[in-house]
Structure 1
């Protein structure tokens, strides 16, 4: 879903690509930059110690619309962000005689942790007001510091952070919670509290371990996944756009993927458009909304395989008890 601005904005698409990447001045191997996946993999075996990656960019703005519309002092900005570290870096791109915009933006390794998002914005003076956002790229690029293969694997970010004394003040009221799901951004994020339950992070990140540790890890991961699916579904349907006749419009991005995945279990046998209309009616009018929560809980549990994990846990405990006895 696109935001609505109280001033003219660009209708045409803004597109951009990473044309090359250098790490401390040395070109990154071509195999670690994927145009189709729109992902750069910066983790390389044998090259763990580096300081700065420079991303070379080429962007295209709807030039005819910029020339004919009420836009002056147009600037093209590249913006690199990462929620895990609250880092934001910007760089201006320069327009070339051919109409495209070129430039570079640096990623400092010390300022990033996992996966950074790169996008491009068009800024202009509109109706006498400078610095207004008039357009953004439809598709982002991702720069992964922990992957050696440029594959867009992660549809949800996992961030380990101390809720009580960590860098995110908004998490401090939840210092007693083992995790929180945040769904307001372009990528949903699960924040794992490193201090709420002693030893929990070690169990979640360990490989192998005792039978009890494996059961605890599986059950906890399934519980986190169920919370994430539930939160993402509620976010996806909480602010639906509607067309001229009041029919809800399917959301975009990760919200669309979540809605299409969950709907068959929330309202079985219904076409996506009809199911979305029914859900929106229940949410906005109030009738039947509480009854729908059981179906949402079931669908989220099915996606996170709660029943299977719980069954395995019960069987494991039963075998252990019988073995002890």
Structure 2
């Protein structure tokens, strides 16, 4: 379940949590403000400034096979919405759907009880060794509910700008007029420029049907994957040597990117050894080309691209079957 050691049996499998729908004062939140790949919801100015309540429809998939053979009873799955800045915590019990086996329910967020960023995840509790209410599992990654963001960006160090690359205010983007997006890592804050000149891109990211939403999630995951890959290369280029000739890790978001991706790019090496190996390969050229596939793989994992691709293919197949009937 985690690196914490519990004095009783816990689940080793992960619980996957998904927010399937968001309503703000009974009105659906536009899909562009919900990022499944980043597991983030942006609620700032969600249609109006004075909204009172947001409702999140939650779906959780648990490691059912492990649960079935475990030493526990009275199992329950609950959704937990919390924010540390206001010390607010809301717990909602989920119910198991007999058809799909997923646990589902709705969680209500009162605007007056929250200030900036909340998290929404699931916890699995059960009776273990005669003791009720013990937590035996939880979601691997909780969703972020950002009340101060108009765009769903999990990392606050990334900025999203929508602009027409052909005729917009950024002349330096005009040579890239056919690119759907561009990642700029030259400044202190990475910026993703989305090309409004690409017909249908904005509409796609705001799709309304099930298949359109899945396709939007896939495109968003591809964008995020490109962002991670570009940021990684930018971070590597900033690795310098200290006075003793040892590689020095850059600070800020570049340090965070390296720490996050290196375990997948160079598995089996400590962070310090990975930095040395990474710089050596880049400077001396050996193995650098072969390493590109590992970098792409690590970026795709961060963006949950394989998962989004599988979801889109599955929903598209179901939609096609429905049309053929």
Please classify the TM superposition score into its range, dividing by the shorter chain length: 0.5 to 0.7
Structure with the greater alpha carbon radius of gyration: 1
Alignment correspondent of 1:316:
315
Provide structure 2 residue ranges, at least 5 long, that are not aligned to the other structure.
1-43, 51-146
**CA positional deviation for 1:45:** 10
Matches of 1:301 and 1:47 in 2, distance apart?
36
**CA positional deviation for 1:152:** 9.6
Alignment correspondent of 1:204:
205
Contact kept in structure 1, 2:221 and 2:303, CA below 8 Å: yes
Matches within 5 A, 1:85-100: none
Alignment equivalent of 1:166, drawn from 157, 168, 174? 168
**CA positional deviation for 1:153:** 5.8
Provide structure 1 residue ranges, at least 5 long, that are not aligned to the other structure.
1-41, 49-144
Matches of 2:160 and 2:226 in 1, distance apart?
13
Contact kept in structure 1, 2:206 and 2:213, CA below 8 Å: no
Matches of 2:203 and 2:291 in 1, distance apart?
37
SS at match of 2:240: coil
The count of corresponding residues between Structure 1 and Structure 2 is: 184
How well do the aligned residues superpose, as a CA RMSD in angstroms?
2.7
Moved beyond 3 Å, runs of 4+:
42-48, 145-148
What do residues 162-219 of structure 1 show as CA deviations (whole Å, max 9, x unaligned)?
10111111100000111000001001000000012x121123245xx10221022101
Change (3 A) 1:292 1:47: closer
Normalised TM-score (structure 2):
0.52
SS at match of 2:267: coil
Matches within 5 A, 1:17-28: none
What do residues 246-279 of structure 1 show as CA deviations (whole Å, max 9, x unaligned)?
2111110000000000000001111111001000
Whether 1:179 aligns to 2:178 is no
Alignment correspondent of 1:100:
none
Change (3 A) 1:184 1:211: same
Normalised TM-score (structure 1):
0.52
Change (3 A) 1:322 1:147: closer
